[in-house]
Structure formats: C-alpha cells, structure tokens
Amino acid sequence: MDYATFVEVYDRLSSTSKKIEKIGILAEFLKRLQKEESSEWIYLLRGKVTPDYDSRELGISTQLTLKAMSASFGVSQEKIIADFNEAGDIGEIAERYSQKRRQRALFMKKLDVKKVFDNLKMIISIEGKGAVDRKISLISELLTSAAPKEAKYIVRTLLSDLRVGVADALLIDAIAEAFFVNEDDAKQVLEEKYHLANDFSLLFDAARKGMLALGEIDLVPGRPVSVMLAVKADTLEEAFRICGTPAAAEYKYDGFRMLINKRGEDITLFTRRLENVTSQFPDVVSAARKYISAKEYVLDAEVVGYDLKTKKYLPFEAISQRIKRKYDIDKLAKTLPVEINIFDVLYHDGKNTLDTPYLERRKIVEKIVKTQALVIRPAVQKIVEDEEEAEVFYQSALDEGEEGIMMKKLDAPYRQGRKVGYMVKIKPTIADLDLVIVGAEYGTGKRGGWLTSYIVACKDGEEFLEIGKVSSGLKEKKENDGQETTYEEMTKLLRPLIISEKDNQIRVRPEIVIAVTYQNIQESPSYSSEYALRFPRITRYRPDKKPDEIATLSEIKKEVKKQR
C-alpha cells in the first residue's frame, strides 16, 4: 500500500468535524486495510506505531524535526524557524518546502506504508551514542522521498500532532461499523476488549475475523489493562443511592493507582496511564514477591508515600517524582518509601475475576495479601449499613490524613476503562478539577525563560476545550522537602510537547494533567468551552492521570448549575 493512500484518508478526516462522517471514512478504509500485510498499520491512523501500553515514544522534539527538515530540504534552520513562527504548523512548512524542491529524481519510488512504518519504529528503538544523527538520517530518508502532503503528515506524526481527530472511541466505532454493522452489542464488546488489551492492532485483527475471535481476547497478566474509574458523589446519601445498601466503604488514599501483575516469576507494575514502572519501584516488586501468596495475579492498588521519620502519610506529589525517575532508584526507594494498599483483584491463579461480584473479589484480596505495617496491606474497609455508620468511617479516614472514602457496590463486576456506578469517591468539598495543559506563555523578569502561564482545557467528547489560564501555584524554587513542582520543571515537561510557537506563546500536545482549584466558574466567550475559572491555582501535577480522565464539559456545567 502506498503511503499516499493513508495521506488521502488523513485529508478526508481533517476536512470534516462530523463524527458520523469520520466513522464512515475510517470504516471504509479499515475494510481495505484488512487485506494488507500488517494489522499494526492501524496505529498510523492515530499517529502512532506502537500499542497504547508501549511507553516508548518517538521522542522527536520540534528542534530535532527542524534539523531533519533542514538536512532534507537544504534550507537553513533559521529560515525554517521564521516560517514556522509565522505559520504555526511545522507540517505545513514541510509540505511547502517539499513542493519547492527543484526536482525529484526520476528513479525515485513511491513511498509505501511499510517504509514509513518501519523507519518510525526504528526511530523509537534507537538509543545511546549517535542516536540523534541516526534518527535525523531515518527522518531525512522519508522526507526526501515524500510527496508534499506526505511530508506534512510524516512531520505531524513525528511530533504526535496528526490533527485528524481520531481518538480511541472514534476508532472503536469505525471498527464496529466496518465489521459488525448488524450486531447491536458490538460496540460495547469492542470497548471492553480494547480496554483489556489496549492494543488496536490486536482488536482490529480479531474484529476482521469475527465476533468469535473477538471473544477470545482476554485479560493477560503482564499486559496492562485499563482501570475502572470512580464517579463523584457530593453526599453519603447520593453514594448509597448509586451503590445500594449495604455498601463497602474504603479509605481514599492520596497516592497513585498501580496494577501489580505476576505471571510465572515475572512481576510487572503499571500505572493507570499504562506506563511500565517496574524498574522505578523495586520495593513494590520485593513486597509483592514476599507478601502476596498467589502464583499469578493482577491486583489493583493505591501506592502511598510516607515520611521515613514520622511515619505519616505524604501527599501524592511527594512520590510522583518516582514515577519518571530512571537514576538513583534504590536511593529514592529508601528516602521516599511507599505503602501498598490493595483493593481489588482482576485475575487470580488462572481465572479472570472481572465478572466476579466485588465482595467475593475482596475476600480473595484478604486471603492472598499478608499485612505488613507500612509495606503492604488490603485497603482499610468497612461494610456500612447507613449514613450514620458511613459518616463515622468517613471521619476516621480524614483523621488518618486520607483524602476521603470510596463507596463500592457489593455485587458489582469490575468494568475496566469506564466510569460506572459501581465505585464512588467522596471527599471534602473543595472546588478543584483535573485539567490538561494545551498552551502556555513564557514569563518575564525573574521567571524569564520559563513557561509560567498555562492555558488549561476540559474534555468534550474527543475535543479539548479551553477553560482558562492559570499562572499561580507552582514554586520558583524547591522548598522544604523539595517535593513541590517548580516552573522550571514544568517547562522541561512541556517543551518536548510544543506543536507551535508564536512570539512568547506556545501550543502543546494535551498530555500534562494538573489539578486546579478555583473560586467559581463563570460564562466566558474568551474560551472554547464558553466558561472560565475564576482565581484558578495549580495544586499539583498529576503524572498518574491520562488526558482522557480530566473533567468533562458536562461536569463543568454541573458545577455551574450547583453554584446557582
């Protein structure tokens, strides 16, 4: 298949904002793609070359892309930067330079999908000395062979900014339309299977063979599964209405979700973002090996940091630095120890337990997890019959320094990747939201050189809608125990995500999630959500959360209604 075929699909997708039209375009293309040699090529529809759980990234910054373009098109980097700052889309600049190239060699073959895919996969795998030069060489090899529009989408793919509007849910809908048009429950089955595998290639390969093959996709220890998400409740009365009576009440810990997997002798750890953090938490691996008595399992847990001297729990930000750390891991494990609170089991000794009622799953957890103080334990829990009993438990959680409590439906299954009424979170009323950064501005004066003012967005379907600008809450330098996120650290996180830059303003890929408090929400024509946060303030960086988990526009509207 020529890469031009993909480019034609990209163009058609980017020319419409209508969901139904996009699904139709994709479904039509997927029928054609099923006849090709590799089901992995489906990743390219979302600008990727690996499954979602693969933490490896292309790692191509804007600066590296500019170098590759300069080498490919014979244009100075200064000229490219000037044009980029004016146009705001480096992909369009690549198309323009490719168009202006004086001539292409007569013997040049058409660029095919296999060549593009293979080069991109090689870029991901390159590490060590000379990696930058080798990556530039692979990129140049593609750009010098590419037609103008092909060059545009190659560059956009490199920067993870394809701009065609294909998110997970849309692609699942397209697979359903392509292969299960007359089966009403196909979309639900596809969603469940996708969140078990987190791999569109596997899903696509099974779907084109039929429902029977789709049904064979199962939970496999060692392969990350999407976690079940909780809904919010403002009162205990609301929580009981959702979960039923009696219900299980558990401490809500101020830590981060971790799925602990054991298959054979191998133990692997994944965050809710599907990141493999096994090497960052050797202490968790050691505790699991020593205190969990099962041959194979997938356990859902909350990992909480605590102060080595006082033994008191620390806020999430204290241990968040361990998630991304690659060096001095053993030292950090000793200075920032964690406690593992296990609250659910998804797989146990050869059996998928997703459809097992929650109360039975809890019994399995209690049976296989041996409590060791400040190391590992089943999450603190109590079955509560009424609001009065739940209130006492709620208060005990707050007295222990926890965020609040979770309420769980006793006979409910585990539904991966979804917010369902089986699990509810309740915490003291604080006006806060998880939002994603989509843009930023450089500071001045003593904050010069740092990105210090951030445009944040909520989610509406597949779109990210701006809801304000926040510039306070981070630190200018480390203080006290050094656990705070600084403007300098946030700048380092955002720079590789830049997709356009003009004057002192940048736009970034929506990947960095932050928690933001505010006084109230007001209507505003200045932002695409038509709302704005009043007096917003960043309370923490949330590397454990995915952009898909941020506040939705419907939740924003609900908050506005409550204000009134």
Name the phi and psi angles at 444, rounded to 5. Answer: -130, 175
Compute how many other C-beta atoms are within 10 angstroms of the C-beta atom of residue 140: 17
CA–CA dist 413, 360 (Å, integer): 10
Q: At residue 383, what are phi and psi to the nearest 5 degrees? A: -80, 120
Torsion region of 387: left, alpha or beta (phi above 0 gives left; psi -120 to 50 gives alpha): alpha
- Go through the chain and tell me how many residues it has: 564
* DSSP per-residue string spanning 394-444: HHHHHHTT--EEEEE-TT----TT-EEEEEEEE-----EEEEEEEEEEEB-
Residue closest to 362 by CA, chosen among 415, 410, 303: 410
Alpha-helix runs per DSSP H in 34-143: 62-73, 77-87, 90-100, 113-125, 131-143
The strand pairing partners of 261, in sequence order, are 268, 298
Can you tell me the distance from the alpha carbon of 513 to that of 151, in angstroms, rounded to the nearest whole number? 31
Question: Could you tell me if 170 and 187 are in contact, meaning their C-beta atoms sit under 8 angstroms apart?
Answer: no
Measured CA to CA, the distance from residue 415 to residue 261 in angstroms comes to 18
Beta bridge partners of 448: 443
- C-alpha torsion sign, points 504, 508, 512, 517: positive
Token reading at 157: 């793919």
Residue type at 224 in one-letter notation: P
Question: Tokens 């997927």 — which residue?
Answer: 30
CA angle 45, 59, 173 (to 5 degrees): 20
Q: Look up residue 419 and give its two tokens.
A: 């917010």
455 DSSP assignment: E
* 252 part of the active site: yes
In 3D, which of 89, 211, 67, 34 has the Cα closest to residue 134? Answer: 67
Residue type, 212: L
At which residue do the structure tokens 């500019």 appear?
66
Residues 214, 219, 223, 227: is their CA dihedral positive or negative?
A: positive
Please calculate the CA angle 192-197-199 and round it to the nearest 5 degrees: 110
Q: How many helices (H) and strands (E) does the chain have?
A: 20, 20
Q: What is the DSSP letter of 371?
A: P
Identified catalytic residue from 252, 408, 409, 546: 252
Q: Are 247 and 239 in contact (CB under 8 A)?
A: yes
Residues forming the active site: 252
